[in-house]
Structure 1
Amino acid sequence: MNRMPPLHHRHRLDRGAVSLEFVAGWLPLIVVLILAVVDSIAANSAKSDAYNIARSAARAASIATDAAAAHAEAEAVAAQGLDDRECVDPEVVVDVGDFAPGGMVTVTVTCGFDPILGTPRRYTKVAASPVDQWRVTGP
């Protein structure tokens, strides 16, 4: 006949059950939460990188001597900035249409981000910088 152990011995049978329930129930949730935090940090970093690259490229273009040099300088600075980043399918658009003293140079950087969780995203950041009126020699 199978007898139940006395009540004062039953706690020995349950020893470790709480640890197993914790690991089986909460660990996957904690792992997903950690991955979501990592993705959020990486996404904010990608947004910040796109803006910083656009700002640096616009500033470099704004001190060039003519529109062609401004366009080339902006693309070179953007390409150099994107080399150091994990950007998926980067796009750089340089607008030097208003390249004259007091005008504006605008650079748009689009950077793709492929998160661990979720769908890929693209971030577009625009930066403008006034053309340096003392450096311009051509139209």
Structure 2
Amino acid sequence: MRVVYILTWVMVAVFLLGETARRGIGYFSINATTMIEDYLCGLLLLAAALTWHSGHRYGPVLMASAWAYGTGGMFVPFAAHLEAWLRQETFRPDHPHEDVNSVILKGVIWAVCLICFAISFRYAVRQRTSQ
């Protein structure tokens, strides 16, 4: 779980700082939904990391929940961008199908979220059954 805890802090930075650096605050006027989704994920992961670090009994459950949110939240952006690349057709102007680096980056972020969710969920279940 130590690696998951460290990755939680990394992904807090990715979702909060990375989204702001990549799009800028002005993107709220273009697509607020995607910005809110990423910021909410970053804040959930931040809350999970802080709760985990404090040793609170809900730390494992919050950690698994935050990673579940991240996994679900990243699936559509990754899958949609991958589909656009595979079909060689741009569906959204801010997601050009030629941008294979975004497909790879979103795939890596989604995979990290999925793996961390599986590990933290298993840990949370073990903690609950051992009590």
Q: Structure 2 length as normaliser, TM-score?
A: 0.33
Structure with more of its chain in strand, by fraction: 1
Larger Rg: 1
Q: Structure 1 length as normaliser, TM-score?
A: 0.31
